[in-house]
Amino acid sequence: MRILIIKRDKIGDLILTTPLLALIKSHMPSAELHLLANTYNGWVAKENPHIDRLWLPPRTRDGTHIHPTAPLKQLWQILQLRRQHYDFIIVANGSISWRANKRAQQIATSKTQVIAYCEPNQQQGIKYALPPPTHGHETERIVTLLTPLGLNITPDRIPYPFFRPPPTWLDSAKNFLTEHNLTPGSYIMLGVGTRRRTRQPEPAQLLRWAEDLYVRFGLHTVFTWSPGKRDANLYPGDDDIAEAVLTDCPNWIHPYQGKLNIVVGLTWLAKASIYPDSGLMHVAAASPGGVVGLFADPENSSSPDVWGPKGAHVRIVVAPQHIADVPDKTILSALTEILNLP
């Protein structure tokens, strides 16, 4: 049996899809499992042991740069995918994705059974057109798509998301640590990159957290942020927060703003991490150290009930309106629980 999983969303979305991959392989070990991701999130799956083949369609746009030949390359890849003659295609979204469903319909042959959440008027070519779920975590919603395969998985049987960085990424991160006289596990990773300002701590908070961790536990802080201005069109940056943090920066805070592979490696090697709701939060949740995930204003933005990180060492802090309103004690208590420190 040959199965294709379609997941062409962001980093965190793909990490939350990995329990589906693990469940298919554990219950159907002889199945050949392929994943159609994208060039932005595909690195998440390159070290995944449950995937037999990874497909990465070329992007039509990178920021403002347009790739004129990408549509032709995408068409050629669709033809290659059709030649795989998949038995099943699963559109692994916890809600309706019109574009992903259309891609599944393009790839499917006459024998392919497509499983997807969709509207009644979108069922053509979709064998198992399931109504979109109205509750449950994203991992639970995605795993429900296995029901047509005869797999009825209860939430308590869903494994944690899986991610493992390439060894070369860890080597690059270790080079940074050596340059700063740090070792794996001797620091906390603290990031502020996220789309909504309400999820971000204020610079004064960050400085207090870092000082407390250093004074109480001797832990340094590696601080990372998204480059650019907050009002950037493509993706809001955090240079204003970074500038305030790094002015007269104490020697226990080590800034890093650069390549994603090094940020991921540093996150993996950290004692633990603090991240607002973002892809890196889910990377940290899968890491050995774990994460404190920051959410705010869940009534008007992503809720941790749906998008919260999953892992063996995870704590979630939710602010009614803004993370800036959360007492330092709340954040540091959550972190010390992960660290198993007094």
Task: Give the full edge-to-edge strand order of the sheet including 53-55.
Answer: 53-55, 32-36, 2-6, 88-91, 113-117, 128-130
Q: What pLDDT, on the 0 to 100 scale, is given for residue 122? A: 75
For residues 36 and 61, the answer to whether their CB atoms sit within 8 Å is no
Per-residue pLDDT, 66: 61
CATH number, domain with residue 73 = 3.40.50.2000
For residues 197 and 333, membership in a common domain is answered with yes
Asked if residues 196 and 234 have their Cβ atoms less than 8 Å apart, the reply is no
Residue 297 domain-assigned (yes or no): yes
Distance CA 175, CA 171 (A): 6
pLDDT in the model for residue 41: 86
d(CA 321, CA 199): 9
Domain limit, last residue, from 129, 157, 185 = 157
Same domain, yes or no: 129 and 213: no
Range of the domain at 245: 167-339
Q: Is there a single domain that holds both residue 311 and residue 267?
A: yes
**Domain end call among 105, 135, 157:** 157
HEC profile of the chain = CEEEEECCCCHHHHHCCHHHHHHHHHHCCCCEEEEECCCCCHHHHCCCCCCCEEECCCCCEECCEECCCHHHHHHHHHHHHHCCCCCEEEECCCCCCHHHHHHHHHHCCCCCEEEEECCHHHCCCCCEEECCCCCCCHHHHHHHHHHHHCCCCCHHHCCCCCCCCCHHHHHHHHHHHHHCCCCCCCEEEEECCCCCHHHCCCHHHHHHHHHHHHHHHCCEEEEECCCCCCCCCCCCCCHHHHHHHHCCCCCCEEECCCCHHHHHHHHHHCCEEEEECCHHHHHHHHCCCCEEEEEECCCCCCCHHHHCCCCCCEEEEEECCCHHHCCHHHHHHHHHHHHCCC
User: Do 275 and 253 lie in a common domain?
Assistant: yes
pLDDT at res. 87: 97
Phi-psi category of 136—alpha, beta or left, where left has phi over 0 and alpha has psi -120 to 50? Answer: left
Q: How far apart are CA 45 and CA 273, in angstroms?
A: 21
Same domain, 208 and 146: no
Residues 290 and 270 in one domain: yes
Same domain, 137 and 178: no
**Is there a single domain that holds both residue 9 and residue 153?**
yes
Q: Specify the number of domains making up the chain.
A: 2
Q: Report, as ranges of residue numbers, the positions in the chain whose pLDDT lies below 70.
A: 59-70, 231-234, 341-342
The answer to whether position 276 is within a domain reads yes
> Residues 202-232, buried b or exposed e (16+ Cβ, 10 A)?
bbebbbebbebbbeeeebbbbbbbbeeeeee
Domain boundary at 130, 157, 184, which?
A: 157
Q: Flag whether 36 is in a domain.
A: yes
Asked if 204 and 81 sit in the same domain, the reply is no
For residue 162, being part of any structural domain is answered with: no
| Residue 280 maps to a domain | yes
Asked if residue 298 belongs to a domain, the reply is: yes
Please give the pLDDT value at position 9: 81
CA distance 219 to 213: 6
d(CA 216, CA 167): 32
| Same domain assignment for residues 215 and 284 | yes
Q: Are residues 222 and 132 in the same domain?
A: no
Judge contact between 314 and 281, C-beta under 8 A: no
pLDDT at 62: 58
Confidence (pLDDT) at 16: 97
As a whole number of Å, the end-to-end CA separation of the chain is 51
Domain presence at residue 219: yes
* pLDDT given at position 125: 85
Domain match, 85 and 127 both: yes
pLDDT at position 177, please? 98
What pLDDT shows up at residue 123?
75
Q: Does residue 142 form part of some domain?
A: yes
* Cα–Cα distances in angstroms (integers) from residue 76 to residues 24, 65, 66, 108, in the given order: 28, 21, 18, 15
